[in-house]
Amino acid sequence: MLTIPLQQIAAIIAAARDCEVEEKALARADRKSGAERRDRESDATPEADRLLDLVADLTSTELNELVALAWMGRGDFEPEAFPAALQQATKIISTHPAEYVARLPGLADYLRSALTSLGYRVESIREPD
């Protein structure tokens, strides 16, 4: 069903988790210093760059699948509507689709949820260290 390898999705999930941890640390530092909340799109951090690199390396077909999975995991589509989600993902007109996906809050949870709802054993997907 999916052309994107599960290990590649696992690497993206791990990178998204690392990015979330990094963002939380930055937010705590901002609160301590009294600085205003950081804008995720303007902050280039090592973890955010790594996640963006992983997503940008996907083929257009794999990127469309990742978008459809994220939407499904977010609750926009039911598992049986995955083909419709995929079709809609292919119609997105964006000059930066990789950035859209990499900056999607909750990406790691959405991907895990979507894979589970499609019947994949998420426990067996090892997230790289």
Extract the tokens encoding 122: 């998420």
- The number of folded domains in the chain is 1
Could you tell me if residue 1 is inside a domain? no
pLDDT score for 125? 63
Predicted TM-score (pTM) of the model is: 0.83
Could you tell me if residue 16 is inside a domain? yes
pLDDT score for 81? 95
Could you tell me if residue 129 is inside a domain? no
Handedness of CA 50, 56, 61, 64 (dihedral sign): positive
pLDDT score for 37? 53
For residue 96, the enclosing domain spans 6-124
| Residue among 92, 112, 110 at smallest CA distance from 100 | 92
Does residue 117 carry a pLDDT above 50? yes
Alpha carbon separation from 65 to 13, 28, 83 (Å, rounded)? 14, 34, 9
**Average of pLDDT values for 103-121?**
92
Spatial distance between the Cα atoms of 80 and 20, rounded to a whole number of angstroms: 29
Could you tell me if residue 77 is inside a domain? yes
User: Which of 19-33, 67-81, 112-126 ranks highest by mean pLDDT?
Assistant: 67-81
Spatial distance between the Cα atoms of 1 and 70, rounded to a whole number of angstroms: 16
Give per-residue pLDDT as tens, 52-106.
Answer: 999 999 999 999 999 999 999 999 999 999 999 999 998 876 778 888 899 899 9
